[in-house]
Amino acid sequence: MIKGKIDVTKIDKSALFKGKKGTYLDIALIETPNSKYSDTHMIVQDIGKERRDAGEKGPILGNARDWAKQAEPDIVRDRPASAELPDDEDSSFPF
- Each domain of the chain, given as residue ranges in start order, spans 2-72
What pLDDT shows up at residue 87? 52
Give the CA count within 13 Å in the CB-facing half-sphere of 40: 11
Q: With a cut of 50, which residues of the chain have pLDDT below it?
A: 73-77, 79, 82-83, 85-86, 91, 93-95
- What is the chain's length? 95
pLDDT in tens, 4-17: 999 999 999 988 99
What pLDDT shows up at residue 71? 53
What pLDDT shows up at residue 47? 85
Q: How far is CA 37 from the centre of its chain?
A: 11
What is the value of pTM for the model shown? 0.64
What pLDDT shows up at residue 24? 95
Integer Cα distance of 79 and 14 in angstroms? 49
